[in-house]
Amino acid sequence: MAAMTRPVAKPKPKPKLTPKRVTIRDGAAGARAVTVQMDGERRARHIGPRREPQARAPDPIQARFAALVRAWRAETMCMSSLIDIAMHPTYQQIIGMGPPALPLILRELGEQGGEWFWALRAITGEDPVPPDAQGDLQRMRNAWLEWARLRGHVA
Amino acid sequence: MTREQRIEGAFPGLRTSPWEITSPRDERYNCVGWAAGRSDRRWWPSPSPGDWPADLPSANSVESLIALFARLGYVLGEPAVRAQSGERIAIFGHAGRPTHVARQLGDGRWTSKLGAEQDIVHELRAIEGEVYGSVVALLARHAVAPLVPSRG
C-alpha cells in the first residue's frame, strides 16, 4: 500500500502590504514615533532620537569671554575704584586671554562701553589716546575704535 | 530684578532708610568726579593715564583722594561744625584702601554716584557695608572753590 502522503500545504503568499499612511510624530526628549498604517493594521515603531540640523558649536573663546564679561559687569557694578575694577579676577582673566580677546573687547567697548582701557593697553602695549583726551571716556573710546578700524580689528 | 533691587542688594542699608535714584546710568563719570562737581570725568588715584591728575599723588590711597579735594578747598576734620556753613565730602574705604566718595547736599542728605551706574541720594551710613566698607574720612569746606582741578 502506497504510503499516504499528506499534501504539503503550499505556503500562502504573504499579501503585499502597502503602507497606506505613515505618520511621524516627534515626542519629548527627541523621541520620534513612526506609525505605519497598512490595510487596516497599524504598526508603530519608535525610532529616535530625531536628527537635528547640526548646530554650530559655540566658539569657546567667545563663550569664555562672554561669561567673564557678564561676571565682571555684575560684580563690579557699583564699584568706584578704577583699580578695583581693573584688578577684578574676571578682568584679569580677560587680559590673560591675550590677543584673541582683542576683537571681542573692542566690540564690547563699541557696543556696551566700559572700562576696557587697562585691558587694551595691557594686551596691545599701545595707547592711541592723545594726551588731551585722557580722562574723557568718549574720546578715549573713539581713539581706540579708530585704532582698531585702521588695523582691521573691527569693521 | 529692578535696578532698585539690584542697588539694595549691593547696599542692604538702603532697605531701611530713605533713598532715591536721581540720574540715569552714565559711565562718563564716577563718584570722585561727581563729588568734585564734574559729570564728565571718572577719576581714581592711579598711575594709569587719564585716571587721575598727573600732578597729584597717584597711590591708591585715602591720602591721594584727600589731596584732590584739598585742591578744591576741602580740609579734614571738624565736620559737624563745618557742615553748618559749608559742604562736606565723605571718603569710604576698607582694608586701608579707598572705595568711594560721597558729597553732602544742602538739605543734609548725601549724593553718591555708584560706579558707572546711577546717582542716588541717601543717608550717609546707609551705603556702608561689603562694597564700600565704612566712612574713613570726612572733609569740609566753607566757601566754594574752583571745581576744576588740573587734569593729567
Residue A125 located in a structural domain? yes
Computed over every residue of chain B, the mean pLDDT equals 89
Q: What is the mean pLDDT of residues A33-51?
A: 54
Range with lowest mean pLDDT among A8-12, A92-96, A104-108, A130-134: A8-12
Q: What is the mean pLDDT of residues A19-45?
A: 54
Q: How many CA atoms lie within 13 A of A126 on its CB side?
A: 12
Q: For residue A38, which phi and psi values (nearest 5 degrees)?
A: -130, 115
**Using 50, 70 and 90 to split pLDDT, how confident is the model at A1?**
very low
Give the model's pLDDT for residue A32. 52
Which member of B46, B113, B152 has the closest CB to residue A83?
Answer: B46
Residue A93 located in a structural domain? yes
Residue A86 located in a structural domain? yes
Q: What is the mean pLDDT of residues B47-54?
A: 87
Give the model's pLDDT for residue B152. 43
Domain encompassing residue A121: 60-150
Tell me the shortest Cα–Cα distance from A30 to chain B, in angstroms: 34
Closest CA to B17 of B116, B151, B123, B110: B123
* B53-90 per-position pLDDT tens digit: 889 999 999 999 999 999 999 999 865 544 456 789 99
A16 CB-near residues (< 8 Å, 6+ apart): none
| 3-class DSSP assignment, residue A19 | coil
Total structural domains in chain A? 1
Residues B116, A135: C-beta atoms closer than 8 Å: no
pTM here is 0.74
Q: For residue A122, which phi and psi values (nearest 5 degrees)?
A: -65, -40
Residue A2 located in a structural domain? no
